[in-house]
Amino acid sequence: MKSIISVFFTTFFLGIGLISFGQNVQAYAIYNSKGKKVSFEKMLKELAKQDIILFGELHNDPIAHWLQLKMTQELHKKGELSLGAEMLEADNQDELNQYLNSEIDYKAFDTLARLWMNHKTDYQPLVEFAKENNLPFIATNVPRRYASMVYKKGAESLDSLPENEKRWIAPLPFPFDPELPGYKAMLEMMGGHAGENFPKAQAIKDATMAHFIISHYIKNPHLFLHFNGAYHSNNYEGIYWYLNYYARNLLNNQPLKIGTISTVLQENVNKLVLENKGVADFILVVDKDMTTTY
């Protein structure tokens, strides 16, 4: 009898301990811009009202990639949806379309397009969902060779490109505001080396992504979900700034509703730290010990 009672209490208190452990260990949490914790459903409801969503990720974070797929699935249930991604470059749109239309298989797609090293695990599920559900998927990023040209030779070097190559870049000359805090920080980080070329190389990416997003949105005025590194849309700069710039000219000052998400790492996910408040409409906080995809 004593042994039975002993086993009962041992099991009982072990169970309580496991429950407590489970309640304290949390892989991620979602907050609004003011630092209030919100559910995935609440975030989804708010973002579904927008014209464009910029989902800022950390490229090697599995939680962000998982939530991107879940968000895509749920938004698709609510209405028409287009997808786009920084991780695919504009001059690979033909290859992407061929894959989406089942004209080539994945092996050919991987061979013909410049896919990121983590594409198969982190982004191919999104491409597959688009393929299975006949969703447009836009390769929005500038071909990296052109960003490299800007860094090495300046933005003016793009003027010498053949006209057929300029179609893969934002219209030239692209606007650049050196006073935007993000670009200023990049310039300071370089200690003045490379002059404005370093932030301009970032800006041509931001401008090109915004250009292809809004060009598609004008022809297909329904929700556009875009995946990009968080630094491309944090603090309502980068792609966000360029979207509003192009909207003023292309949408006759019609307001463009843009929702943003940023992904950050914290030691404690149960409270949003001050430096992460306000970086986006919603902040995905991931435990800094989370396993990465590469």
pLDDT tens-place string over residues 9-68: 444 444 444 444 455 789 999 999 999 999 999 999 999 999 999 999 999 999 999 999
What does the pLDDT read at residue 224?
98
Geometric angle at alpha carbon 13, from 12 and 14, rounded to 5°: 90
At 160-195, the pLDDT tens digits run 999 999 999 999 999 999 999 999 999 888 765 557
Q: In this structure, are residues 74 and 66 in contact, taking their beta carbons and an 8 Å threshold?
A: no
The answer for residues whose C-beta is within 8 angstroms of residue 87's C-beta and 6 or more apart is: 59, 115, 116, 119, 123, 141, 227
Alpha helix ranges (H) inside the chain: 2-24, 40-47, 62-78, 93-100, 106-112, 119-122, 124-132, 144-153, 163-166, 181-189, 197-219, 239-250
* In contact, 204 and 169? CB cutoff 8 Å: yes
Residue type present at position 226: H
Kindly report, residue by residue over 242-281, the tens digit of the pLDDT: 999 999 988 887 889 999 999 999 999 999 999 999 999 9
215, burial (CB in 10 Å: exposed 0-12, middle 13-18, buried 19+): middle
Q: What is d(CA 148, CA 201) in angstroms, rounded to the nearest whole number?
A: 7
Identity of the amino acid at 6: S
DSSP label at 150?
H
Q: Residue 251: what pLDDT?
A: 87
CB distance 118 to 294 below 8 Å: yes
pTM over 0.85: yes
Rounded Cα distance between 254 and 267, Å, is: 41
Find, among 186, 166, 188, the residue nearest to 235 by Cα.
186
DSSP state of 56: E
Q: Tell me the three state secondary structure of residue 270.
A: coil
Domain ranges of the chain: 27-287
Paired tokens of 109:
């797609």
Closest among 227, 263, 232 to 64, alpha carbons compared: 263
CATH number of 27-287: 3.40.50.11550
Question: What pLDDT band is residue 225 in, cutting at 50, 70 and 90?
Answer: very high
Token duo for residue 94: 């033909």
